Amino acid sequence: MRKSKIKGKSHSIRPIESGAPKWVKSSAEEVESTIMEVAKKGVPQSQIGILLRDQYGIPLTRQLTGKKLGRILSDKKLAPQLPEDLFNLIKHTGAIRRHMEEHPRDMSSKHGLQFLESKINHLAKYYISTGKLPRDWKYSPEKASILVR
């Protein structure tokens, strides 16, 4: 029997409380101003959440402000044009394409590139259906090469 398939029950669970924890001293306005300052420096959304957690001791922005981090950024018009996960995948394909120019016979990288482009197309289809991307948005390798450089 393969024991590697057995999964455990140990994991972290978000708190049930809907309000802010008692030990958080920051107000909703302070949190939003901190988010805006950091976002103007060009820090991605995921890094802003980590920064708030580690340096400012804010566990979840939604508990304090009533809005998610992405919603705050989009309300203040600081959200990026592309969602962060899609941007990172496109950036990764650009790096693989640059590698493929130097090593054209690397078939495992070619397969990985095809897999990544498939992921990009699936994600783009989802974001187009939810309205986060315009209907005429298409992935092209030229976009990837521009993002890498």
Instruction: With beta carbons less than 8 A apart as the criterion, state whether 38 and 80 touch.
Output: no
Average pLDDT over residues 130-141: 93
Instruction: With beta carbons less than 8 A apart as the criterion, state whether 100 and 110 touch.
Output: yes
CATH of domain 84-148: 1.10.287.10
Long-range contacts formed by 135-140: CB under 8 A, 24+ apart: 139/90
The DSSP 8-state label assigned to residue 3 in this structure reads G
Choose among 56, 40, 38, 57: nearest CA to 48: 38
Place of tokens 């309300």: 75
CB-based contacts of 45, cutoff 8 Å, min separation 6 = 39, 69, 70, 73, 79, 80, 84
Percent over 70 (pLDDT), the chain: 93
pLDDT for 144 equals: 74
For the chain, give the mean pLDDT: 90
pLDDT for 19 equals: 79
Give per-residue burial for 5-23: e unless 16+ CB within 10 Å, then b. eeeeeeeeeeeeeeebeee
pLDDT digits (tens, 9 = 90+) for 90-127: 999 999 999 999 999 999 999 999 999 999 999 999 99
pLDDT digits (tens, 9 = 90+) for 39-50: 999 999 999 999
Which residue ranges make up each domain of the chain? 28-75, 84-148
- 33 vs 6, residue with greater confidence: 33
SS3 140: coil
Q: What is the pTM of this model?
A: 0.80
pLDDT digits (tens, 9 = 90+) for 54-68: 999 998 899 899 999
pLDDT for 21 equals: 84
